[in-house]
Structure 1
Amino acid sequence: MSYNRSAKQKVSRKQRRAEDRELARLERERRAARARRRRIGLRVGAVTSVVVVAAGVAVAVQAHARALQVGPVNMMSDGLLITGDGSTLSPATSAPIPAGGTPTPHPVSTGTGALDLVVSLDYGDPRSAAFWAANGSTIEQWVTSGAATLEIKPVALSSGRTAYTPTPAPTPTTSTPAATPSATPSPATSSSATPSATPTPTATTNTETTAQDYALRAANAFACVASYQPSSALAVNDALFTAQHTFGSAGLTQAQLVTLVNNAGVTSSTVSSCITSRRYVDWAQQATDRSGVTGVTVDVAGRPYTGSVDDTTAFSTFVASVYSSLAASASAATATPTPTATPAQTSTPTPVATPAG
């Protein structure tokens, strides 16, 4: 009996030791697994924190860089001012908008005989192209003659870029000289207006951008020309609108924009590198945001034109009426007033002599 009891006790002790070892093994594995999970969690958390911080720093750096970007030369008003002396066109020179600065508007010189025309146009917008096709040539004539000044402000519309249906063209008739407003000097209207012919690049599919992005890139191209070869800016403006029908909503590629400005007479290699590097794209977006415009905007001496964008007659009539109004105001302000008659001075009575006593 004692032998059997001793044997059973030995077996029980072996089983307990085995069970204890198994429990210890399981505990070690549990602790090791928990330690691994903790290490992985710490690593993931560290990586996530680094990514978040890096993304935040990148966004902050980009925002800071945009805020400190200097604007295009000669466009301190967010637009390029063009004047004429009767025979030639001359872009006005100005310093760029300083880093972190705001645009300085050109003064509206009412009553001086020259109308100030300010146009905000989108080079990818059909309505902007329709306005320039109908009125661009006439405007250039006015500016060349000195009857008006022109300030071009390129913008990149988004919600304002809508489908456009042109006004039906009238039945062709024998052309007659256009009427000239009675006020002198004043802008002369023209019976038709066709932008200057400029070779345009061969149309190819451009899938790299959206319509608004193209407007920004085209505005950047105009700003590059205004900065480094401003004498060609108006020709490039014409070429950008003339080329609009040759591409889809994505617009021209960067290489095609370079070809377009070269065909318009730009010879500066600095302009080409400015276009391809998108130097003023951020400025173009900021200028659009500052303008607050949502469509084609044309101001004549500070007065907005609200007529049809492709109605040459309506636009010329509006310009003539603004000129006449300003001329009348200036005439009234400078007229010499008629002197008021001064009453004749009353003579002083002569004292009466007192008789001698």
Structure 2
Amino acid sequence: MPANSYDLELRGLPKKERQALQREFARLQREEERRRQRRNRIIRRTSLITIGVALLAVAGLVIANTVRASLIGPANMASDGVLFTGDGTTVTPSTTAALQVGDTPAASSFAPSNGVLIVDLYVDYSSADAAQFETTNGSTVQGWVTQGYATLELHPVALASTDSNSQSMRTANAIACVANAVPSSVLAVHNALIADQATIAGAGLSTDELVALVTKAGVTDAGVSTCITSGEFDNWVVDATNRAKAALPNSDVSSLTTSPTVVVDGKVYTGSNSDATAFEAFVTSTYQAAVPQSTATPTPTPAPTP
């Protein structure tokens, strides 16, 4: 009804009826306004809920991906170690894809009878015994690798502690970070950590000092520094350490209990960590037992010598 007709109708009514009708119209308008406001609130709430659910889904996906990424192992360590071989002049690390979530590490190929020593070194960088062994024998073993007489597989572990702030964890993670990005620099960083073991086991290295040590060893990749700072492979270190404590592949011992654990052609060295002569005698006897004389060629590969 047009407004002027409505006004005329009102004027035609008695005063009391007109006032009652006006009150009723006002009430109806208020009710309509309240319904409109309720509809708007419901729409807003529904929209907010929809947006909230979408945001939660995105956040959940981000969190899931972040957690999943933290469980993936470093590249070039699919066996839980970095494998090095030599050709007479150069040491080369083997490259592998990263160990994915749920995957089982694949032990490196094991064929000691082929005349090339197979050396596996499990090391916790906070261990004084590991530093003693490497100081006494490390350059000798690495020399054999360079000459092609041996392969060396380096397994960083955290036997002393798997707390994320422990030196064992942080140094093992540092090796994993280097292996992931610059595997050719792993031995240089390994040697630098061994040289600084007294500090690692004593006052400890801060994150900045650990990054500085790795940088001084020749690793300038910014991603490695970030990896060390964030503890990117901490979960992998825990898993790899637990796997080694449960079973050692290609070894005559059932599990990892001490650092260093040095396995040569499947046999664990149990002699003195500071006696180079004892270690060389162990290597010689192990090598000779693994390579039958019947398979020797007229010009056999010479036995490893220091």
- The percentage of counterpart residues that share the same residue type is 45
Q: Residue type matched to 1:95 in 2? A: A
Runs of 4+ more than 4 Å apart: 209-212
1:315 corresponds to 2:279 = yes
Displacement after TM superposition at 1:158 (Å):
2.5
Alpha-carbon displacement from aligned partner over 1:93-147 (angstroms, at most 9, x marks no partner): 0111111111111011222121110010001111111111111010111000000
Measure the CA separation in 2 of the matches of 1:248 and 1:308: 21
Aligned length: 224
CA contact (8 A) 1:214 1:250 kept: no
Aligned residue among 245, 253, 264 for 2:206? 253
Aligned residue among 279, 294, 297 for 1:332? 294
Instruction: Give the equivalent residue in structure 2 for 1:265.
Output: 218
1:74 corresponds to 2:27 = no
Instruction: Give the equivalent residue in structure 1 for 2:10.
Output: none
Displacement after TM superposition at 1:315 (Å):
0.7
In structure 2, relative to structure 1, the CA distance for the partners of 1:217 and 1:313 (3 Å cut) is same
Aligned residue among 185, 191, 194 for 1:241? 194
Displacement after TM superposition at 1:82 (Å):
0.6
Query: Aligned with 1:266: secondary structure?
Result: coil
Instruction: Give the equivalent residue in structure 1 for 2:230.
Output: 277
Instruction: Give the equivalent residue in structure 2 for 1:139.
Output: 141
Alpha-carbon displacement from aligned partner over 1:269-297 (angstroms, at most 9, x marks no partner): 11111111110011111111110112121
Measure the CA separation in 2 of the matches of 1:118 and 1:247: 23
Q: Residue type matched to 1:314 in 2? A: A
Measure the CA separation in 2 of the matches of 1:110 and 1:237: 25
Displacement after TM superposition at 1:326 (Å):
1.7
More helix by percentage? 2
Measure the CA separation in 2 of the matches of 1:108 and 1:303: 12
Query: Aligned with 1:123: secondary structure?
Result: coil
1:305 corresponds to 2:258 = no
Unmatched segments (≥5 aa) in structure 2 = 1-62, 246-255, 298-306
Query: Aligned with 2:71: secondary structure?
Result: coil
Measure the CA separation in 1 of the matches of 2:122 and 2:201: 22
Displacement after TM superposition at 1:66 (Å):
6.7
CA contact (8 A) 2:80 2:240 kept: yes
Measure the CA separation in 2 of the matches of 1:212 and 1:322: 39
Displacement after TM superposition at 1:322 (Å):
1.1
Instruction: Give the equivalent residue in structure 2 for 1:228.
Output: 181
Instruction: Give the equivalent residue in structure 2 for 1:32.
Output: none
Aligned residue among 108, 125, 128 for 1:126? 128
Alpha-carbon displacement from aligned partner over 1:208-259 (angstroms, at most 9, x marks no partner): x979821111000001111101111100000001011234545211111110
Measure the CA separation in 1 of the matches of 2:92 and 2:269: 25
Query: Aligned with 2:155: secondary structure?
Result: strand
Query: Aligned with 1:259: secondary structure?
Result: helix
Aligned residue among 114, 117, 120 for 1:112? 114
In structure 2, relative to structure 1, the CA distance for the partners of 1:265 and 1:275 (3 Å cut) is same
Measure the CA separation in 1 of the matches of 2:77 and 2:200: 28
Q: Which runs of structure 2 are paired with 1:1-357 in the superposition (5 Å)? A: 65=67, 69-158=71-160, 213-249=166-202, 251-292=204-245, 293-295=256-258, 296-327=260-291, 329=292, 331-332=293-294
Measure the CA separation in 2 of the matches of 1:67 and 1:91: 24
Measure the CA separation in 1 of the matches of 2:197 and 2:296: 47
Q: Residue type matched to 2:136 in 1? A: A
Alpha-carbon displacement from aligned partner over 1:15-73 (angstroms, at most 9, x marks no partner): xxxxxxxxxxxxxxxxxxxxxxxxxxxxxxxxxxxxxxxxxxxxxx89x9379711000
Instruction: Give the equivalent residue in structure 2 for 1:50.
Output: none
Tell me which structure has the larger Cα radius of gyration: 1
Q: Residue type matched to 1:265 in 2? A: G
User: Cα RMSD (Å) of the superposition?
Assistant: 2.5
In structure 2, relative to structure 1, the CA distance for the partners of 1:311 and 1:254 (3 Å cut) is same
In structure 2, relative to structure 1, the CA distance for the partners of 1:146 and 1:139 (3 Å cut) is same
